[in-house]
Structure 1
Amino acid sequence: MRRVAKLSAACIASAALALTATACGSTSSDNNSSSASSSGGGDGVKIGLAFDVGGRGDRSFNDSAARGADKAKEEFGGEIKELTAKTSDTEADREQRLNDLAQAGYNPVIGVGYAYAASMTKVAAKYPKTSFGIVDSVVDAKNVNSITFTEEQGSYLAGVAAALKSKSGHIGFIGGVDVPLIKKFEAGYIQGAKDTKPGIKIETQYLSHGSDTSGFASPDKGKAAAKGMLDKGADVIYSAAGSSGNGSIEAVSGVKGAWAIGVDSDQYNIPSLAKYKDSILTSMVKNVDVGVYDFIKSVHDGKPLTGVNSYSLAKNGVSLSTSGGFIDDIQPQLDAAKKKIVDGQIQVKTTP
């Protein structure tokens, strides 16, 4: 049996704090493998971060992980080393990236994204005294902490919000890559929307397929996909596509009465998206920063988390942001839907 650790009270508090944090920088659709390190003092931790494509500055998933590491470094001192994936990565590239961090003495080593699962299985076995963490996947090893989230539950609420706010009865979903993880976002969104308005029309499009991860780092593709949906009459579009979603938000902002739903970070509060914020209805926040911070703290405290640690809707691992006040008028319906999920009256699907 795998052990599932519960969120601490401190972690819940840090989730609220995370929503006020901001991201920085920008990225291209095909980052070269890059690194950055910053030194702290005292007996801190040497944190190794292997980012997914987009890296720090994607204003979404990777930035959320970065906030957790930054918070830990600020509290405990030490050093952060960052390596960023390329869209052309092979399995050997990912394995080498993790190996380089572990070999250099970084502990913990964190793979930010499901793509690191197979490579982490191999590398963790080579370095049994190093604590590894992986976000969005499960690796069955004694020295690995698998940090997972119930994306489908948060996305269900996004679907409820979309259905209630849509004036055309036509909404859209854009996924970065058609992998099981992103299918969870799609499944929850569709179920939430249809439970709210059974006759609603839903457009779905994925930006890349299979091993091609460019769909997570191509704002131009996100913009084109959103424009196509808007042209067909959709007036609320939810994107689970990393930095590609920024393009979707840009497209939506140009259409009066249309709404974008952000993902992973509270995108209303991202400075580089400020000019589009009046079109961001809400964001399905996935508190990756909380999971990353909790793990680093556990290593710092000498009691590394292992097994599967799931951050659910009930534990505020996922939520809808309220920035801008655009969903204030439908908050009672959202609260009712959340209660039904938490109480088990609604079972949210993980596949469309």
Structure 2
Amino acid sequence: MTKAAALLLAGSLALAACASDEEGGDTATGNGGASGDLKIGLAYDEAGRGDKSFNDSAYAGAEAAIDEFGGEVQEVSPNEDGSNRAELLSNLAEQGYNPVIAVGFAYDEVLGEVAPQFPDTVFAQVDGSNADGAKGDNVTGLVFAEEEGSFLAGVAAALKSETGQVGFVGGVESPLIEKFQAGFEAGARAAKPDIVINSQYISPAGDFSGFSDPAKGQIVAQSMFDAGADIVYHAAGGSGTGVFQAAAASGGRAIGVDSDQYQTVEDPALQAVIMTSMLKRVDNAVQAFISDYVDGNVEGATDVLNDLSTEGVGLSDSGGFITDIKGDLDQYRQQIVDGEIEVPTSL
């Protein structure tokens, strides 16, 4: 069994706990406050911690590692335009944090510049491949088969839709988020070939505000509900709250992303519309990477893939909304794992 699979249940508990933490703290210590030698640097994606999704999941993984090994984690977030990402990584390395984990594909370019300057620091990037070693021999990519989990989300949406129309809201138009869209659309059409799918993005390529603008997320999703969709899936980070708000206002349903958002949202009215979430176990991947670092088992210039076979992606069943279609979902999941279904990664 992989470390990611073994950490699945523990990661769920850690993520639920971190969602209730207060925002604004820069350092957390585990083991009852005892600090060991482990110093983890965590550089967040757009929106930072508190997004109830992607960044929170990364923090949950780091927090779980601190609980296990002791030490501390230093959290940093980019400025509004993201122009200080390189500075954030450099500062963490200069201050002795090791490993340093960059959260999100937006660190692609700057990590390739910074990592070679600190050859004694071990870096990892969530959603950033380094299989070719272009970012340096000291960088490990933590990558996911988002398309596989999104395929199951598409199956669930199509099978549960009463109007025969569903929607997808992407945060920022990019190859990564298109993997979510491609998988979702493929899954929906596999389950119901005549399904109508409306897919839109909050912001264009290069504009990362689409991950942290709930108001625009609500506008985009509302247009889909108004046009006849009754279920909308989002891959939009913190903007997903707006998708949930649109679903609640329209009497529709939504599918969350990254974490089990049924468990992380605080508003009962929003919780009630979250049919399921596409779990992207960033928490497991981060915790497993740190565990490998502690054990001295990290290999740079490589990728660690998290997919359905490792339970690195999947669907949540909180609330019981998809219990009646579990058999169908299990069948599709097994076909993907067995290679009988090849899920597209692009449109």
Assess same fold via TM > 0.5: yes
Distance change >3 Å, CA 218–CA 26, structure 1 → 2: farther
1:296 corresponds in structure 2 to: 290
* Contact 1:268/1:274, CA 8 A, preserved across alignment: no
Which sections of structure 2, spanning at least 5 residues, go unmatched?
Answer: none
Look up the SS of the partner of 1:254 in the other structure.
helix
Counterparts in 2 of 1:158-197, with a 5 A limit?
158-197=153-192
1:109 corresponds in structure 2 to: 100
Look up the SS of the partner of 1:243 in the other structure.
helix
2:26 corresponds in structure 1 to: 36
Distance 1:261 1:99 in 2: 37
Counterparts in 2 of 1:41-120, with a 5 A limit?
41-90=34-83, 93-120=84-111
Query: Does residue 1:266 correspond to 2:246, yes or no?
Result: no
The aligned amino acid for 1:158 is A
Distance 2:327 2:196 in 1: 24
Moved segments of 4+, more than 4 Å = none
1:24 corresponds in structure 2 to: 20
Which residue of 139, 142, 150 maps to 2:145? 150
1:276 corresponds in structure 2 to: 270
Counterparts in 2 of 1:336-351, with a 5 A limit?
336-351=331-346
The number of residue pairs the alignment matches comes to 336
Distance 1:129 1:267 in 2: 37
Q: Which stretch shifts more, 115-124 or 299-308?
A: 299-308
Percentage of identical aligned residues: 45
Distance change >3 Å, CA 49–CA 134, structure 1 → 2: same
Distance 2:28 2:273 in 1: 36
- Report deviation, 1:272: 1.9
- Report deviation, 1:64: 0.4
* Contact 1:226/1:251, CA 8 A, preserved across alignment: yes
Cα offsets for 1:98-148 (capped at 9, x unmatched): 001001100000000011111111111011111000000113222111000
2:225 corresponds in structure 1 to: 230
- Report deviation, 1:245: 0.6
- Report deviation, 1:44: 3.5
Q: Which stretch shifts more, 47-56 or 77-86?
A: 77-86
Which sections of structure 1, spanning at least 5 residues, go unmatched?
Answer: 1-6, 28-33
- Report deviation, 1:25: 5.9
Look up the SS of the partner of 1:348 in the other structure.
coil
- Report deviation, 1:43: 3.0
* Contact 1:299/1:305, CA 8 A, preserved across alignment: no
Distance 2:65 2:263 in 1: 22
- CA RMSD in angstroms comes to 1.6
Which residue of 100, 116, 129 maps to 1:138? 129
TM-score when scaled to structure 2? 0.93
Look up the SS of the partner of 1:314 in the other structure.
helix
- Report deviation, 1:15: 1.4
Distance change >3 Å, CA 47–CA 274, structure 1 → 2: farther
* Contact 1:298/1:305, CA 8 A, preserved across alignment: no
* Contact 2:93/2:100, CA 8 A, preserved across alignment: yes
TM-score when scaled to structure 1? 0.92
Counterparts in 2 of 1:3-22, with a 5 A limit?
8=2, 10-20=3-13, 21-22=15-16
